[in-house]
Chain A
Amino acid sequence: AQTVTQSQPEMSVQEAETVTLSCTYDTSESDYYLFWYKQPPSRQMILVIRQEAYKQQNATENRFSVNFQKAAKSFSLKISDSQLGDAAMYFCAYRSGVHGSGNTGKLIFGQGTTLQVKP
């Protein structure tokens, strides 16, 4: 079974600085997707960035980028120029890319990292 681990329950960063959130995962599959989701307090969970396992190039979305190390099964999120609005709980998630009977495309989440941004 696949697992996702986030070992940092809480992180803090100064506004305008850079912070990196860590995530490791375990799988025997070769085809999968990895995601970072942001869940602000009392607000909807939204997708921040995604990475397809077959792509060697690290995904980037504006101030958000990932460091995808497939062999090490590591998937960290870097937030540059942190803003007050980045304060939230961040979840790393895995989804199988295997198609077939019973594959729901369910997301497997880590425990989350609460990010505090200090003004």
Chain B
Amino acid sequence: ETGVTQSPTHLIKTRGQQVTLRCSSQSGHNTVSWYQQALGQGPQFIFQYYREEENGRGNFPPRFSGLQFPNYSSELNVNALELDDSALYLCASSLMGQGDGEQYFGPGTRLTVT
């Protein structure tokens, strides 16, 4: 098991609602990346946060947003939920600027949009 935790484990929301997912990074890590994994697919990069700022973004609309806090934990917010947002959301923490920046994944949050 890695030291990365995510909450909640599962979540059911209705189309049009908003959701916040949380991630606590591994001790000593300063960077959090978020990925969306649709059922039976590989994870897709959403964005990354480093030093409390967005450090890069994948091909996701602006209704996907995030935050990083001084303790390096992070939130992923999704507004105006759509059915296609149903997926496993993974966060991965890493240490930017030293070593190879290997990413360590959390267990994920399973989001179901009905």
> B20: which A residues are within 8 A, CB to CB?
none
How many A residues face the partner with a CB closer than 8 A?
A: 23
A44/B1 contact (C-beta < 8 A), A102-B56, A106-B56, A107-B103 known: yes
Inside 8 A of B107's CB, which chain A residues have their CB? 43-44
Give min CB distance, B61 to chain A, whole Å.
Answer: 18
Q: Is A16 an interface residue (CB 8 A)?
A: no
Contact, CB under 8 Å: B94 / A105: yes
Q: List A contacts of B96 (CB < 8 A).
A: 105
Report whether B90 and A106 are in contact in the complex, using a CB–CB cutoff of 8 Å. Answer: no
* CB contact under 8 A between A44 and B2, given known A104-B56, A105-B94, A106-B48: yes
For the complex, count residues of B whose C-beta is within 8 A of A: 28
Q: Is the CB of A112 within 8 A of B106?
A: no
Say yes or no: is B101 at the interface (Cβ < 8 Å to chain A): yes
- Knowing A43-B107, A45-B90, A102-B56 are in contact, say whether A110-B42 is a contact too (CB < 8 A): yes
What are 8 inter-chain pairs, A to B, with CB distance below 8 A?
A: A37-B105, A47-B102, A91-B43, A104-B55, A105-B33, A109-B42, A111-B41, A112-B40
8 more contacts with CB within 8 A, not counting A33-B100, A45-B105, are A44-B105, A44-B108, A47-B104, A104-B33, A104-B45, A104-B55, A106-B33, A110-B42
